[in-house]
Amino acid sequence: AVEELNSDNDSLKKAVKALSAEKQNEHDHFVEELKNAADEKINLETLVSEMEINLEEVNAKLSVISSELAQELHEKEAALTENSCLVSRNDEVCVTLSQVTSERDEASKMLQELELSKISLSGLIEDLEEKQSATILKN
């Protein structure tokens, strides 16, 4: 009976060792998975940190670009306003030029009429001078 108990005891010791080894393997595997998860967490945190830095850089660049575009828009609006004023002034000049051209044409017609009147007056003066000379000669 002692031998049987010793045999059972040995069997139990072997079973305990086997279970202990299995539990140790499970523990080691679990610890390895925890280490891997911790490494992955660190990698993800690093990636998130890098992304945040990149996002800040992109936002800074976008802010600069936005400011540049706003300045360019302001300059173009100013140029457009200036062009609008120039177009308006050009329209005024065109109207004035049209009026001056019309007045010049009228003055030219009046000058032609004056030239014709001058010619007529010259003819009348010559006729009067001839009549006066003829009258003087008669007297």
Note the pLDDT tens digit of each residue in 12-33: 999 999 999 999 999 999 999 9
For residue 83, tell me if it sits in a domain. yes
CA angle 58, 64, 70 (to 5 degrees): 130
Q: How many domains does the chain have?
A: 1
Q: How far is CA 25 from the centre of its chain?
A: 65
pLDDT tens-digit readout, 94-138: 999 999 999 999 999 999 999 999 999 999 999 999 999 988 888
Q: What sign for the dihedral angle of Cα 98, 100, 103, 104?
A: negative
For residue 42, tell me if it sits in a domain. yes
For residue 87, tell me if it sits in a domain. yes
Q: How confident is the model at residue 11 (pLDDT cuts 50, 70, 90)?
A: very high
Residues of the domain holding 39 = 1-109
Q: Rg of the Cα trace of the chain?
A: 58
Q: What's the predicted TM-score (pTM) here?
A: 0.50
State the amino acid at position 122 in one-letter form: S
